[in-house]
Structure 1
Amino acid sequence: MRRLFGSVRSRATLAATLVVAVALVAAGAAVLLSLRSNLIDQAGNDAERTAQNVVAQLVAGKPYDQLDIDDDSPVQVVDANGRLVAATEDLERISGTGTDAVQPQPQPRKGDTGGSGNTAGSGGQDADDDADDGKADASDDDTAQDAGEIGEVSALTDGSATIDGDTADYRFAAVPVETDDRGTLTVHAGGSLEAEQSAVNSALTVMLIGFPLLLGVVAAVTWLVTRRALRPVEGIRREMAAITASEDLARRVPEPDTHDEVARLARTTNETLAALETSVERQRRFVADASHELRSPIASLRTQLEVGVAHPELLDVPGAVEDTVRLQRLAADLLLLARLDAGEGPGDKRVDLGEVARREARGRENVAVEADVAEVAGSRGQLERVLGNLLDNAQRHARDAVTVSVGRDGDWAVAAVADDGDGVAEADRERIFERFVRLDEARTRDDGGAGLGLAIARDVAARHGGTLTVRDAPAGGALFELRLPLA
């Protein structure tokens, strides 16, 4: 199970299916509730019309036993005392109307010798004539208004009724009516809820069948679309696995011919591989060059020591000391480069670049210094190494003089070291900052060093948020310009 849902495709399919399922359930519930509410309202309207029809007959003075009542709808007429005086024929059971009586029990009026429940009036033929007159005038609004007062629907309730053996649910409406001769009556009439129940059940059945099918379609489509979208990712993964196994950083992952996130991922991956390849190649060259540079002073020192052991009188002590110093400087340069490559920060101490320039120029021949106060934030030791390396390089290539100047340029501290030598060709102005690079005129190790000074200076400048560039000096030669942000 964990493996099944461990892929992006599985999780995307599950998430999409769950979201659609929640949306369908919410929409289905809303549709069912709206449908049920509308149909219940319709049943209530039907019940109200049926009740108003009976009320109109009562207002017109129609006798209880002559009321025109639909045999398919449950109707009850209740007097002020709660007695059932008229009801639907074949009504066997009823609930939800406040009274469960189904057999009418009309009250005879005074002088009514027939005892038939006829409430059309009292006194024989005159009463019949009055009833006939009432029926004849039932359609006249003014006469009906005089005969009684019809009230509004007082209540809508749900219940059930059994008519001629058929039991069903109904929406009941209660309509009161005030009559002159029979007092206050209440008509309870029911509207069938069968249509509501049938429609809701049909809609629910359709949803129970259709929703799973729709969810299955959604899941299948999401699975296929996600599979197609992630196919390039699988290609990238396979290629990266092959690169890892072969350790061949020259290989690249396939880039889809699209403009989406996967294509950008592939391009970024290839850029990372290119940077990694460059870094690894740089490290390989660094190790090879460092081994080569270390071999010479070590071999020279060993030779001198072996000669000194065999022939003490021939031991070249100054030469041995010089080789030892060269070896010590080279080891210090390699150690500093290793720390820079490891991401060593420059620190945040305030350093006066002018004071550093004056200190590094002190004791050197033919070096002129013009330095103002320019404080920067960083490592004093590293900045001293930068200016020291620049002065060493300038003295190595100068004919007569070297000048150092420190000042401000806006938000920058600028240190410039210029010599009056031959300068640096434009084609070599970036190459000289590479590690172990020495130009042709400085290839000898005794004079040219190991080719790490300018590389260290640029790396330190970059770590301090600055730049180190070279251009032609105004009086000829090379001018190295160090720019660092002011503290």
Structure 2
Amino acid sequence: MSRLFGSVRARATLAATLVVAVALVAAGTAVLLSLRSNLLGEAGTRAERSARDVATALAVGTRYTELSLDDDDRPVQVVDEEGTLVAASEDLERITGTGVGAVKPQPAATGDDARDRDSDDDDDDDDFDESLEAGEIGEPSTVGDGTATVDGDTADYRFVAVPVETRGGDHLTVYAGAPLSAEHGAVNTALTVMLIGFPLLLAVVAWVTWLVTRRALRPVEGIRREMAAITASEDLARRVPVPGTHDEVARLASTTNETLAALEDSVERQRRFVADASHELRSPIASLRTQLEVAAAHPELLDLDGAVEDTVRLQRLAADLLLLARLDAGERPADARVDLASLAREEAEGRRGVSVRGDVAVNVAGSRGQLGRVLANLLDNAQRHARSAVEVSVRREGEAAVVAVADDGEGVPAADRERIFERFVRLDAARSRDDGGAGLGLAIARDVAVRHGGTLTVHDAPAGGALFELRLPGV
């Protein structure tokens, strides 16, 4: 079970089903409430109509005993201002919800009945009726819901009260009810349909979502299988299939292939780096071993200067390899304030044929040690290729700090101006191991510049040699 719901497909199906279920419940509840409200409103209208009919009859002079209240579907009560039931529907056996529980009329000996008896004694009813004006009907009000038993049948009703003033000045209230059986039937029918239809609809939604997600995730499964095969075979030249849908899955596959390509390139560069480093280390180690073996057999033949030179070369190469390893690991440079003009003068001090221009402080943020290493490598490279002079200039251009190192040598061909920044690359014999170069100086300088948010490029110098330009964000 945990494995089933651990899949994206199952979670998507469950989520879609739950969302639709919540929406259906909310919509169904709204529909039921709206339907019930409308039906209750219609029942109230029918009850008001019934109450008005009775109130109208009373207002024009109809006596209690002459009211037509024999409709089984319309329980009616007529109550005087003292709360006494003076008229009611025929066969009304019980009633609740009107506030008057009586079902048998008890006419008071006042008002119309009193005048009725007087008119019987004097035999002049017509003259009496013509002397009175018609009564008034008040505003109806909804009493609420209740029950009534008429001729043995009990049902729910909505009751409405209508006040009326008769021609004789009596204040009465007419209570009339309309049955709620239609409302209950319609609501129950709608609820039954929802209880049956909603689960079926949810089943359809779950099934469709399951099929759609299976189709949508099929390319993802293909990508997963291919990635598993690549991991097992360690063949980084393989690529995952890219579907032709131009959607998120296709972009995922494209990005995965780009990542594989970058990983393949990184692994290849790492292999070349290890091979080149081994080759570079082999030469000074072999030379040093040979000198020590000769010295062990013939101490008088020991070339102490050569042994020291080889040891220094090993030390420099080890330091370069360690720095490159730290840069490849993403080591962040320090955030110290460094004056490039002062740093350039320090690195140029003691070097023959090197001059520095730029006395104004040009500050940048970074590692003083790493930036000093960049300048030292650039100066070493320039001195190795220069005929007689190397010139260093430090200046500010807008927000950037610029250090330019120019020599009067042969320069760098345009086709090789990016290649020289690769590791262990030498363009000609001038960059030989005998001169102490291992092909790492410019690669280290470029990496350090990039880590500091800057650039390192090479151009033609005014004197005809090479011009290396270091640009860093100024502070």
- For Structure 1 versus Structure 2, the TM-score category normalised by the shorter chain is over 0.9
After TM superposition, list the pairs within 5 Å mapping 1:64-463 onto structure 2: 64-69=64-69, 70-107=71-108, 120-124=116-120, 126-127=122-123, 129-130=125-126, 146-181=133-168, 183-372=170-359, 373-442=361-430, 444-447=432-435, 449-463=437-451
Cα distance change, pair 71–324 in 1 and its aligned pair in 2 (3 A):
closer
Pairwise CA distance, 1:228: 1.8
Pairwise CA distance, 1:129: 4.2
Cα distance change, pair 388–182 in 1 and its aligned pair in 2 (3 A):
closer
Which residue identity is paired with 2:178? Answer: G
* Separation of aligned partners in 1, 2:114 and 2:241: 99
What are the Cα deviations for residues 451-483 of structure 1, in whole angstroms up to 9, with x where unaligned? 111111111111111111111111211111111
* Separation of aligned partners in 1, 2:144 and 2:185: 20
What are the Cα deviations for residues 127-183 of structure 1, in whole angstroms up to 9, with x where unaligned? 57439x95xx8xxxxx9x813222222442211111112111111112222224472
TM-score relative to the length of structure 2:
0.94
Cα distance change, pair 107–328 in 1 and its aligned pair in 2 (3 A):
closer
Cα distance change, pair 431–183 in 1 and its aligned pair in 2 (3 A):
same
Structure 2 residue runs of 5 or longer lacking an equivalent are none
Q: Secondary structure at the match of 2:468?
A: strand
TM-score relative to the length of structure 1:
0.92
Cα distance change, pair 468–80 in 1 and its aligned pair in 2 (3 A):
closer
Cα distance change, pair 106–458 in 1 and its aligned pair in 2 (3 A):
same
* Separation of aligned partners in 2, 1:377 and 1:255: 44
Greater Cα offset, 287-296 or 391-400? 391-400
Pairwise CA distance, 1:291: 0.5
Which residue identity is paired with 2:365? Answer: A
**Counterpart check, 1:472 vs 2:460:** yes
CA contact (8 A) 2:73 2:179 kept: no
Q: How many residues align?
A: 473
* Separation of aligned partners in 1, 2:211 and 2:124: 85
* Separation of aligned partners in 2, 1:107 and 1:466: 108
* Separation of aligned partners in 2, 1:378 and 1:83: 101
Q: Percent identity?
A: 76
Q: Secondary structure at the match of 2:351?
A: coil
Greater Cα offset, 355-364 or 313-322? 355-364
What are the Cα deviations for residues 189-223 of structure 1, in whole angstroms up to 9, with x where unaligned? 11111111111111111111111111112222222
Cα distance change, pair 127–14 in 1 and its aligned pair in 2 (3 A):
farther
Which residue identity is paired with 1:439? Answer: L
Cα distance change, pair 480–81 in 1 and its aligned pair in 2 (3 A):
closer
CA contact (8 A) 2:313 2:436 kept: no
* Separation of aligned partners in 2, 1:409 and 1:61: 108
Q: Secondary structure at the match of 1:475?
A: coil
* Separation of aligned partners in 2, 1:423 and 1:77: 119
Q: Which residue of 2 aligns with 1:31?
A: 31
Pairwise CA distance, 1:316: 1.2
CA contact (8 A) 1:64 1:118 kept: no
Pairwise CA distance, 1:301: 0.5
Cα distance change, pair 396–42 in 1 and its aligned pair in 2 (3 A):
same
Greater Cα offset, 264-273 or 287-296? 264-273
Greater Cα offset, 237-246 or 298-307? 237-246
Structure 1 residue runs of 5 or longer lacking an equivalent are 138-142
CA contact (8 A) 2:140 2:162 kept: yes
What are the Cα deviations for residues 42-66 of structure 1, in whole angstroms up to 9, with x where unaligned? 1111111111111222223223232
CA contact (8 A) 1:432 1:438 kept: yes
* Separation of aligned partners in 1, 2:83 and 2:332: 97
* Separation of aligned partners in 2, 1:453 and 1:120: 129
Q: Secondary structure at the match of 1:4?
A: coil
Q: Secondary structure at the match of 1:421?
A: coil
Cα distance change, pair 128–287 in 1 and its aligned pair in 2 (3 A):
farther
Pairwise CA distance, 1:443: 5.3
Q: Which residue of 1 aligns with 2:472?
A: 484
* Separation of aligned partners in 2, 1:413 and 1:150: 97
CA contact (8 A) 1:438 1:448 kept: no
Cα distance change, pair 170–313 in 1 and its aligned pair in 2 (3 A):
same
What are the Cα deviations for residues 352-386 of structure 1, in whole angstroms up to 9, with x where unaligned? 21222222222222222223331222122112211
* Separation of aligned partners in 2, 1:221 and 1:275: 39
* Separation of aligned partners in 2, 1:384 and 1:269: 39
Pairwise CA distance, 1:21: 1.4
Greater Cα offset, 291-300 or 165-174? 165-174
Q: Which ranges of 4 or more aligned residues in structure 1 deviate by more than 6 Å? A: none
Q: Which residue of 2 aligns with 1:10?
A: 10
* Separation of aligned partners in 2, 1:183 and 1:337: 110
Pairwise CA distance, 1:412: 1.6
